Structure formats: structure tokens, C-alpha cells
Chain A
Amino acid sequence: MHELGIVKHVIKTLEEVAAENDVRRIGSVTLRIGEVSGVVVEQLVDCWNYFREKNALVRGAELKVELVEALTRCTECETVYKTVPQGKICPNCGSGSTYLLVGNEFSIKEIEAELNGDPPADGQGGRS
């Protein structure tokens, strides 16, 4: 359910980007997803594959996912460690005073797009 909402937001953002950049059609979308962002990638891809067919701009577009490994930093001993599976407690000094450095991101990194005015792509990319 949650992933469906996210896909709707991604497509809305892409529609804005398309209008700003004179994009005719999007061939692929690359997302950066943090390991502890709470997003289930498999579900996200399922929702994407369902929703992309309902929107001419992204019809058939491939969803690429770059996973970002989560890292946590300890404010006591300054150790940086992998958040998964360690969690909030520093493995070096046992302190709970730690914070997440990276791993919570969820952003649209880039898209591959066909612009208005480009010659129509032949073969597979040609439908619009």
C-alpha cells in the first residue's frame, strides 16, 4: 500500500520534470533507496510496473534501483559502522549516542528521456 503511494508521488514529480525539460517520453528512471528507508524494493517495482502502463509519459519505462548501504556514526568514539544488522548501539564502545549518516535516502537520481523535437526513436522505443 505504502509503495503504491510512493509510486504515485514519483510519477507526479516526473510529470513536473517532463514539463520543465520538454520531455516527450521517459525510458528509464533511476531511484536511490537507502537500506533503512523502509521501502520494500520488490513491492515498489510491482507497483511501478502496474502504474507505468496508466501514464503515457512513463509507459514501458524501466525502474532502476540503486541501494545505498546504511552507515551509523557514534558520537562518543566516532566509530562509523554498518547500521544493518548492528542497529543503534555502537559495536566499539556500546554507546547509544549514535546517528544515521546515510541509508535513509529516497530520491530520484536521474531519468533517461526522449525530448520533444528528438527524431522518433525507431523500434522498441517508438510508441508514444
Chain B
Amino acid sequence: MLKVIELKRTVTDSNDRDAALLRGELKERGIFLINLMSAPGSGKTTLLSRTITDLAGEAAIGVMEADIASDVDAARIKALGAESIQVHTDGMCHMDAGMTRAGLEGMEDRPGIVFLENIGNLICPAEFDTGAHKNVMILSVPEGDDKPLKYPLMFTKSDALVITKTDTLPYFDFDIEKAASRAKALNPDIAVFPVSAKTGEGMRAWEDWLISSRGEWNDA
């Protein structure tokens, strides 16, 4: 005879607990973890490369590249002298807290900012807490300003939205105000940073946000 056991647990319960645990462990180690999410080709690695160069001397930055395959991104970051490791998800469309913890074990244990470059995808990564202290999403100008309407969860879960490739604005019908207001309708607290990692325009505001967020986290 089978007994019915009522659970009423959300499916991501065990991951949520693992993520909270990881957040605490990283705090002890002085590692400020940022989960960076976007579609493929939005300029994640280019944004990070510029950020690493600009913040040299201000913060030690490490990057964990999560991809289904290859290590081209990790090689680009390494060329800048920053610590970089490549994690393969073997076909999975997102990183969860357990995978993030395992990846971090392969990195040098020193205080600083670590970016987790999540799998390029606007859907699945939003559903799994990685244990990061901040979630940041990138939307590039060529993708269009309607994305908050199509992928609402991602915008709801992010603390900051970086609009990249603003140097291409003359060639696309992308309205920064529209994108920002659509994102803020879903998440009034989201910070929006239009940047061009190519020309450097807007980069300082994004970098200041990083440094001040880390400061607040450190003092909390």
C-alpha cells in the first residue's frame, strides 16, 4: 500500500537552498559573484574584456565561462591577464548553484569580482539561482528594444540591464528609452546602463555601479 506524502515544495527548492549556501560561502571568501546573462552574440565577452581593462588596479576580476562546448571565450579573457576558467555544461541550457560551486573550485581563491558568463539564452538561466550576489543581463542594440516584452522573467530577475553596442544605434530602430521603460515596468528597481565597449561610451557608469554594489555587499 502506498502512502501519500504531501510536499508542496517548489521544484527548484533544493537548488535555491544550495544557492543561498554558496552566497554565504563566497561572502566569507570575499568573492563577489555576478551572474551575467544574455542571448548569444550580445557582446558579453567584449563587455567583460573592456571592464577588466578599465578596472585594472581597482579590483581583481575573474571570469567563469559557461558554454555548451569550446573555450574560445576563456582564451580571449586570459589574453588580458585576468583569471579565466571554462566550464562545460554538456548540453544543459543553464548553470545551477551546484555547477557554479564546482566551477569556482577550479579558480584561485582570492577576493575580488567573479563574473559567471552564463549560457547564451534568455529563458532558462533566469529560472535557476546560481548563488550569485547580483544578476546582470545584457541586451544588445541589434537584438531590438522589444525583448522585455518577449522574455519578461529575465528582466524581472536582473539587478542591472546593460544595453550594449550603442555605437550601432544609427543602424537599428532601437529606442533606448523604450527598452528602459519596458524593463522598468517589469522591474522598477533595475539599473540601466547603455554602453559601447568599443568606444568606451557609458562604460564608467556601469563600472561605478559594479564597484559601489561590491562596496555595499562588503559592508552589509
Q: Tell me the A residues contacting B by CB distance below 8 Å.
A: 1-2, 4-6, 9-10, 12-13, 16-17, 21, 23, 27-28, 31, 38, 96, 105-115, 118, 121, 125
Contacts and interface: CB of A to CB of B under 8 A. Distances in A.
Nearest to B95: A5
Given A1-B91, A1-B124, A5-B128, A13 B5 contact: no
Query: Which range contains the number of B residues in contact with the other chain?
Result: 20 to 34
B7 interface: yes
Interface stretch (B10-18, B27-35, B55-63): B10-18
A106 B124 CA distance: 14
Contact of B123 (A9, A10, A38): A38
Contacts of A23: 5
Contact of A5 (B2, B3, B94, B153): B94
A114 B3 contact: yes
Q: In terms of DSSP, what is the predominant structure of the interface of chain A? A: mixed
Contacts of B9: 13, 17, 107-108
Nearest to A20: B5
Contact of A121 (B1, B5, B12, B15): B1
Given A1-B92, A9-B15, A121-B1, 7 more contacts: A1-B124, A2-B93, A16-B14, A21-B5, A96-B185, A106-B10, A113-B2
A105 B14 CA distance: 16
Contacts of B15: 9, 12
Report which residue of A5, A107, A121 has the largest number of chain B beta carbons within 10 angstroms of its beta carbon: A5
B73 interface: no
B2 A2 contact: no
Interface in B77-136: 91-94, 96, 123-124, 127-128
Q: Which of A13, A105, A111: most chain B CB closer than 10 A?
A: A13
Contacts of B124: 1-2, 5
A2 B94 contact: yes
